[in-house]
Structure 1
Amino acid sequence: MQRQAQYWFPAKRYGWGWGLPITWQGWAILVAFILLIAIGAAMILKHSLAEFIAYVAVLTALFAGVCWWKGEPPRWRWGDE
């Protein structure tokens, strides 16, 4: 019997992408992402806006990668199953 993979991030009901996490691991990743942005804002933003934008872009790419890896396969959804 094959065990179904547990997704951390469910697909959005409408549109493309993922919704809020459904597991503690997903919530931990989301909270870490938000905290790292806040820490970066406090430390980097006072020095350089360009560095902060690059920092947020890297964090966002990493977060999107985790969503792609541990989330439902993305596709356009119109609300019906």
Structure 2
Amino acid sequence: MPNDSKYWFPAKRYGWGWGLPTAWQGWVVMTFFGLLLLLGALFLLPSRGETVFGAYAALLIVLLVAVCWAKGEPPRWRWGGK
């Protein structure tokens, strides 16, 4: 049975936020995010313009941060150490 307490996104060693994924689920999320961003650039930019694409990208970023917040280590400012 998989370990549900394992974080998909570890906290950064320095600063605030998350680093690269450590679980395959996190890599799927990052790949899906990149793919959706690329598809938006290919289809929304030429047909709808920069404003619509900017709103689309902002929505994707908010969703990515929500997933990181839910499945990552609790964020706080870090100065290194353990």
Same fold, judged at TM 0.5 (above): yes
The amino acid across from 2:66 in the alignment is G
Aligned to 1:37: 37
The CA RMSD over aligned residues, in Å, is 1.2
Calculate percent identity across the aligned residue pairs. Answer: 56
Q: Please give the TM-score of this superposition, normalised by the length of structure 1.
A: 0.94
Deviations 1:29-76 (A, max 9, x none): 000000000000000011210000000000000000000000000000
Q: Please give the TM-score of this superposition, normalised by the length of structure 2.
A: 0.93
Inter-partner Cα distance in structure 1 for 2:4 and 2:34: 29
Q: Secondary structure at the match of 2:46?
A: coil
Q: Larger helix proportion, structure 1 or 2?
A: 2
Inter-partner Cα distance in structure 2 for 1:80 and 1:44: 44
Q: How many residues align?
A: 79
